[in-house]
Structure 1
């Protein structure tokens, strides 16, 4: 009986190890290029975050590019009510470097780095866009390199959203580009 429990014990450990390994592999998998699905006058797509200036494959699992979809969803939500009926907006996020940087050895836990937000690390977003009229005519198009060097002076103590600086940068761009409709 002792030998049977031992085999069962090792089988259980092997199963747990396989599940843990599979879980680690899936969180380390590249998000890849993508786009928001569903009907909307605002189409948002992005390049593979692995090629971004942002250290997406850094020490923290949450920063392996999983933030790109919530950022794209925010852009879509904010842009939709700014468009006139029939207009469309196509945006491709080509590069994102979030506010802050990882500073090695700044964590109490050995081997874990964390993002330090300082005014010398402003949020930066490089995007390509096309603003189209209902007829399909191009109203405006181009590339923009967005940066908010004063992002620390505009911060809200109450806002704990980890993407607050990047979302505000996109909100500012939308107001400038679409005229605050």
Structure 2
């Protein structure tokens, strides 16, 4: 029996992906988390990612939904804030919108359907609500923050040039550093 190269390639891809049971994870899946597990002084939750600007106005909403990037950004926010939050304080963050850096450009053709083009006209944006609570239980600060970086491509301080969330994580880092000027540790 002779297999066609395209069929062979498809079977190989299926085998590498973990067989027929392999399922792509989407941030909009009904069973996808909407908050980080409660742990430590920083709680992070988020709204329905299907309503995020990233997905609603994407040139390729299927690709924009793919992965676990909302959870990854929430985890990064928690880790960064825990380092800066003074002892005894708590932080509650609700992420209400995300627009990742770059965009899909469907007019480039089917060969580029899953390619995110990073250009200065597509800056990262994150909107969040937060509440900072002191050790005595009193609210120290709260409000909405709209994070954006119009010069994200010229910022030489990106974390890693291979991290697909590097621009959004850098945005989070700058907010946490501004909001919590007094290092906790």
Could you tell me the TM-score, scaled by structure 1's length? 0.77
* Distance of 1:161 and 1:107 partners within structure 2: 25
* Distance of 1:70 and 1:88 partners within structure 2: 20
Q: Looking at both structures, which has the greater relative contact order when contacts are Cα pairs under 8 Å and sequence separation is at least 6?
A: 2
8 A contact 1:50–1:65 mirrored in 2: no
Partner of 1:170: 172
Query: Residue 104 of structure 1 is aligned with which of 106, 119, 138?
Result: 106
**Alpha-carbon distance, 1:82 to partner:** 0.6
* Distance of 1:91 and 1:68 partners within structure 2: 13
8 A contact 1:44–1:76 mirrored in 2: yes
Q: Which runs of 4+ in 1 moved over 4 A?
A: 19-22, 30-33, 155-158
8 A contact 2:100–2:125 mirrored in 1: yes
**Alpha-carbon distance, 1:135 to partner:** 0.8
* Distance of 2:166 and 2:175 partners within structure 1: 14
* Distance of 1:157 and 1:54 partners within structure 2: 21
Query: Residue 67 of structure 1 is aligned with which of 66, 69, 75?
Result: 69
Change (3 A) 1:77 1:109: same
Partner of 2:35: 35
* Distance of 1:39 and 1:158 partners within structure 2: 27
Q: How many residues align?
A: 160
- Three-state SS of the structure 2 residue aligned to 1:81 is helix
Q: Which has the larger radius of gyration?
A: 1
1:52 to 2:52 alignment: yes
Change (3 A) 1:118 1:75: same
8 A contact 1:104–1:113 mirrored in 2: no
Partner of 1:9: none
Could you tell me the TM-score, scaled by structure 2's length? 0.76
RMSD: 2.7
Q: Which runs of 5+ in 2 are unaligned?
A: 1-18
**Alpha-carbon distance, 1:85 to partner:** 1.0
**Alpha-carbon distance, 1:63 to partner:** 3.5
* Distance of 2:140 and 2:80 partners within structure 1: 19
Greater mean deviation of Cα atoms: 33-42 or 114-123: 33-42
Partner of 1:139: 140
Q: Which runs of 5+ in 1 are unaligned?
A: 1-18
